[in-house]
Amino acid sequence: METVVKHYDSVESLDEVPEHLVDGIRRLFTKKRVLDPKTFPLFLRADLTELIIYDCAALGTGDYIRVFAQLPRLKTLVLHNAYQFKDEVVDYMMEKALHLQHLTLHAANLVSSDKWSELFRAADSNSRR
């Protein structure tokens, strides 16, 4: 795994790597501070139902939208230091993340109170179906 991190700029895909190893690589990318918009797509595989990103500080709004665009089967999402998670991302998530059951956001301070209320109302109405 250290070799992947050392040569991260040469890695084209992690598609054939088992998920438990990909999680270890994500942790190392976070530790070495190489997780950014350029390397982030390595961890977005359409077959994923769970995604944990340990430090999203270098990611932007478009990266979060990309998660919901590329991972249609996503059930669990955990984002630490999600500073650029904004209202527009919540809107896109409510539209596209139809299978999402568990959401943990740390430091998503740019989401407005009104948008949180809208998200919680939508989640409540979906849970009653």
pLDDT at 55: 96
DSSP 41: G
- In angstroms, rounded to a whole number, what is the distance separating the alpha carbons of residues 113 and 78? 20
CB 107 within 8 A of CB 81: yes
The tokens of 33 are what? 């501070």
pLDDT at 128: 63
pLDDT at 118: 96
Q: State the maximum Cα–Cα separation within the chain, in Å, rounded to a whole number.
A: 48
The tokens of 98 are what? 């139809």
In the β-sheet with 76-79, what is the strand arrangement from edge to edge? 50-53, 76-79, 102-105
Residues with Cβ within 8 Å of 15's Cβ and at least 6 positions away in sequence, in order, are: 45
pLDDT, average across residues 49-59: 96
pLDDT at 91: 98
pLDDT at 57: 96
pLDDT at 7: 61
The dihedrals phi and psi of 9, each to the nearest 5 degrees, come to -75, -10
Domains assigned to the chain: 2-127 (3.80.10.10)
Dihedral of alpha carbons 61, 26, 67, 49, sign: negative
92 pLDDT band, cuts 50/70/90, is: very high
At 4-49, the pLDDT tens digits run: 666 667 778 888 888 889 899 999 989 989 999 999 999 999 999 9
pLDDT at 129: 59
Cα three-residue angle 50-56-62, rounded to 5 degrees: 85
At 100-128, the pLDDT tens digits run: 999 999 999 999 999 999 999 998 887 66
At 63-90, the pLDDT tens digits run: 999 999 999 999 999 999 999 999 999 9
